[in-house]
Amino acid sequence: MKKNNFKPSPFALAAFLLTNSVAHAQTAPAAAAVEAKPASAGEAQTVTISASADASKEGLSSAYAGGQVARGGRLGLLGNVNVMDTPFNTTNYTQALIQDQQSHSVADVLQNDPSVRVARGFGNFQELYVIRGFAVNSDDLAYNGLYGLLPRQFVSSELLERVEVFRGANTFINGAAPGGGGIGGAINLLPKRATNEPLTQVTLGGESGGQIYTAADLGRRFGPDNNTGIRINAAHRDGDTSVDNEKRKLDVLSVGMDFKARDFRLSADIGYQNHRLTAPRPSVTVDTSIALPAAPEGSSNFAQPWSYSNERDTFGTLRGEFDISKDVVAWAAFGARSGEEANTLAAPTVSKTDGTASTYRFDNARKDTVRTGEVGIRGKLQTGAVAHSLSATLSGYWQDSRNAYALSDFFNPLATSIYKPVNSAEPVANFFTGGTLSNPLTTHKSILSSYALADTMSFVNDTVLLTVGARNQTIKDYSYDYNTGAENSKYNESAVTPVVGLVFKPMKNVSLYANYIEALQQGAVASGTDIVNQGQTFSPYKSKQKEIGVKYDAGTLMMSAALFTTSQPSAYVQNKVFGIFGEQRNRGLELSVYGVPTRGLRLLGGLTLLDAEQLHTAGGANDGKDAIGVPDTQLNLGAEWDVPGVRGLTLTGRTVYTSSQYADGANKQKLPSWTRLDLGARYTTTIADRAVTFRARIDNVADKNYWASAGGYPGAGYLVLGAPRTFVVSGSVDF
């Protein structure tokens, strides 16, 4: 489609749905734990559950056999959809998995996913997720479908009921991601809600280095028919980590509320997170003229003792849903976040293979204000032999970022080594500055708006499901001078991203699917020296994906396979013209499995094979070579075994394998492959009439030293050292 050719109004669809709705609204489903009811007419699977993550009529999709993964998840304006009914590849990790694995953050949960590898942001400690070989920043995590609301660098697992992973391009699903992700996948996080039964749970724990952990989880329902619920979670971590001289302190508090009436539902969330790192081990940049040095010991720390990174966020959401009729529901959701970051960094650059390195001080201050929201309507109707599930939505996103920085003299760097670190006196950061650290000015504003329409059509008794739709996305972006606040540049462009998805069910437990879908990123503004089109603004980049796959539900074991190819444009200068001449193409095969193959045994994992190729590069220098930081093979396999004869005892294990990858576009610096083995156990019993669960885990059992990832930020190949052998233990008591 050409830009802006698609101009249907979502209000027209809304009016059509309303005029075709004559039935009275149904009563909201009672909160009771039961199995999912089969979907029909291409609609989302409807379930009644003991906890709901939002104001959704469908509720939270029930867990699949084994309890580690859910049967379905949220697909933006399409609502909650069973995995067998969606033309995409998704996995939805449950709170049971999060708690049993003692996960600290989203990154810990995604250690189970063969399509994802965890990296780090450029120059900081931001969690970054590489899905299908493309980076998804933690800026681009969605919270119940809304972007930008959660803490920007680290999201504590105590906030989460589900971690939903969508694989592939996804601008149509929730709109363009504010951080420029959305090419290889998307991650949606769901908040906790009060269950039917009262919940009062306290957890105490610790880990290698002396890190202490305490948490409380309380939930209650009250009112007529338990129509009102509240869920409160609080957590505190403090102490040294398994890395030498590194300290972490974390405080988390969240309150989730919900209310259910006959024909409408409301939910709200308020959250606070304060995350502080002292002497955190930084990423490593290696001079491109040398071979990559061997990985240092996993417990070593080459951070300067005066370095730190602090992040504090307060956020909230409000969501409502109203049953206009039996078959039509409308919703609205709004959210806001206020975040502050401050850090002093000193990342080393290695110049010799013996580990010789240099560093300088870099200070940064940032304040973010985010407001976001969406409204939508979804309904069913019949046209002859074809059933339709129609959806329309409007969304908006606004962000104001205030930034300032200061550097020490980088012409006289501090000498150090990644093998024998040298602690230097703290230099003064006043050599080169931008803005005032104590009072940063607005340096960046983003305004995203979109509307989308979709129709999922059902044919031949729901054996064929065809989804078609499109989203019209507008991206406005403004940058301002750090010192004066004057506008430097502005960007205002629109584009349409379509989607076509087909599901065919030749048998009840088999789904064949195919899709075409696009991702959207802000286009470049021509810049540089000696170019003839300085300042030219380009339309948003479209990354195009094609995928086919198969899913098989054996009743207690789910298996799937997917083949995909995604192309991403890129910009560079050619013959003094800045343009969109470059392209990267990622192709791959994904195999996944989860469930209970036999009684007492649970499996979770899979294999991803990737071919990430640079097709067109400046001067053809790197044509045909691998993209930075994308391994050819990723294998994750986890298992849980309930020990026969010892009631309540479960042994766990997980293997993570990542093949070699390159740290530079010329493919001269190659990271070795690595394999990590994690082992654990948990024991559930009753003490003094209280349910008690003890958990223990050892990550990196063999204490291997390895470079875990390369890059994440486009064109950069900085290295992140893998964590050493780490022991984690905890105990939970239900009162």
Q: pLDDT tens digits for 127-149?
A: 999 999 999 988 899 999 999 99
How long, in residues, is the chain?
A: 735
- 680 vs 102: CA distance, rounded Å: 10
CA 644 to chain centre: 37
> pLDDT (tens digit, 9 = 90+) per residue, 613-653?
999 998 899 999 999 999 999 999 999 999 999 999 999 99
Strands (E), 418-540: 432-434, 441-459, 464-480, 487-507, 510-521
Query: In this structure, what token pair is assigned to residue 275?
Result: 């995350």
Whether the CB-CB separation of 97 and 63 falls below 8 Å is answered with no
Secondary structure of 90-123 in the HEC alphabet? EEEEEHHHHHHCCCCEHHHHHHHCCCEEEEECCC
So where are the chain's domains? 10-280+372-404+440-485+499-734
The pLDDT score that the predictor gives to residue 134 is: 94
- 457 vs 244: CA distance, rounded Å: 58
* Angle ∠(605,723,701) on CA atoms, nearest 5: 65
The pLDDT score that the predictor gives to residue 515 is: 98
C-alpha distances out from residue 671 to 212, 291, 383, Å: 34, 10, 57
Backbone angles phi, psi at 97, to 5 degrees: -65, -45
Q: Assign residue 191 a region (left: φ > 0; alpha: ψ between -120 and 50; beta: otherwise).
A: beta
Please report which residue ranges of 473-552 form alpha helices under DSSP H: none
The pLDDT score that the predictor gives to residue 55 is: 67
The pLDDT score that the predictor gives to residue 54 is: 67
The pLDDT score that the predictor gives to residue 335 is: 97
The pLDDT score that the predictor gives to residue 53 is: 67
Paired sense of beta strands 349-350 and 285-286, if any: parallel
Give the other-Cβ count within 10 Å of 436's Cβ: 13
- 699 vs 652: CA distance, rounded Å: 11
User: Residue 56 — very low, low, confident or very high, per pLDDT cuts 50/70/90?
Assistant: confident
DSSP state, residue 69: B
Query: In this structure, what token pair is assigned to residue 461?
Result: 């008794």
Query: In this structure, what token pair is assigned to residue 569?
Result: 């444009």
- 631 vs 532: CA distance, rounded Å: 38
Give the other-Cβ count within 10 Å of 223's Cβ: 10
Half-sphere exposure of 551 (CA within 13 A, CB side): 23
**Mean local confidence (pLDDT), 421-432:** 95
User: Residue 49 — very low, low, confident or very high, per pLDDT cuts 50/70/90?
Assistant: very low
Among 59-63, 384-388, 588-592, 670-674, the range scoring the smallest mean pLDDT is 59-63
User: Residue 539 — very low, low, confident or very high, per pLDDT cuts 50/70/90?
Assistant: confident
**Mean local confidence (pLDDT), 233-253:** 97
Rg over CA atoms, the chain = 25
Residue 693 has pLDDT above 70, yes or no: yes
**Mean local confidence (pLDDT), 679-698:** 97
Whether the CB-CB separation of 102 and 205 falls below 8 Å is answered with yes
**Mean local confidence (pLDDT), 528-550:** 88
Whether the CB-CB separation of 116 and 532 falls below 8 Å is answered with no
Instruction: Tell the burial category of 188 from Cβ atoms under 10 Å away from its Cβ (0-12, 13-18, 19+).
Output: buried
Residue 46 has pLDDT above 70, yes or no: no
The pLDDT score that the predictor gives to residue 2 is: 38
Paired sense of beta strands 510-521 and 541-553, if any: antiparallel
Query: Residue written as tokens 């020296």?
Result: 529
CA 446 to chain centre: 20
Closest CA to 504 of 561, 558, 460: 460
Closest CA to 449 of 393, 402, 519: 393
Closest CA to 283 of 275, 270, 295: 295
User: Residue 326 — very low, low, confident or very high, per pLDDT cuts 50/70/90?
Assistant: very high
- 190 vs 60: CA distance, rounded Å: 10
Give the other-Cβ count within 10 Å of 422's Cβ: 12
Strands (E), 197-307: 199-207, 211-222, 228-240, 247-260, 264-278, 285-286
Query: In this structure, what token pair is assigned to residue 583?
Result: 């392209």
Residue 334 has pLDDT above 90, yes or no: yes
Residue 35 has pLDDT above 60, yes or no: no
- 329 vs 327: CA distance, rounded Å: 7
Q: Which residue has the higher pLDDT, 676 or 21?
A: 676
Whether the CB-CB separation of 176 and 450 falls below 8 Å is answered with yes
> pLDDT (tens digit, 9 = 90+) per residue, 363-401?
999 999 999 999 999 999 999 999 999 999 999 999 999
- 720 vs 725: CA distance, rounded Å: 16
Share of the chain above pLDDT 90, in %: 84
- 635 vs 592: CA distance, rounded Å: 10
Backbone angles phi, psi at 83, to 5 degrees: -60, -30
C-alpha distances out from residue 454 to 322, 397, 471, Å: 20, 21, 9
- 518 vs 1: CA distance, rounded Å: 11
- 356 vs 192: CA distance, rounded Å: 48
The pLDDT score that the predictor gives to residue 571 is: 86
Closest CA to 309 of 365, 271, 358: 365
State the chain's mean pLDDT as an integer.
91
Among 32-41, 653-662, 676-685, the range scoring the smallest mean pLDDT is 32-41
> pLDDT (tens digit, 9 = 90+) per residue, 441-487?
999 999 999 999 999 999 999 999 999 999 999 999 999 999 999 99
* DSSP-derived secondary structure for 128-182: EEEETTEEEEGGG-EETTEES-S-SS--BGGG-SEEEEEES--HHHH---TTS--
Q: Which residue has the higher pLDDT, 16 or 380?
A: 380
Architecture of domain 10-280+372-404+440-485+499-734: Beta Barrel (2.40)
**Mean local confidence (pLDDT), 535-553:** 92
For 56, residues 6+ apart whose C-beta sits below 8 A from its C-beta are 79, 80, 265, 321
The pLDDT score that the predictor gives to residue 301 is: 97
**Mean local confidence (pLDDT), 696-714:** 95
Among 234-238, 446-450, 464-468, 570-574, the range scoring the smallest mean pLDDT is 570-574
Q: Which residue has the higher pLDDT, 703 or 525?
A: 703
Closest CA to 604 of 163, 304, 223, 6: 163
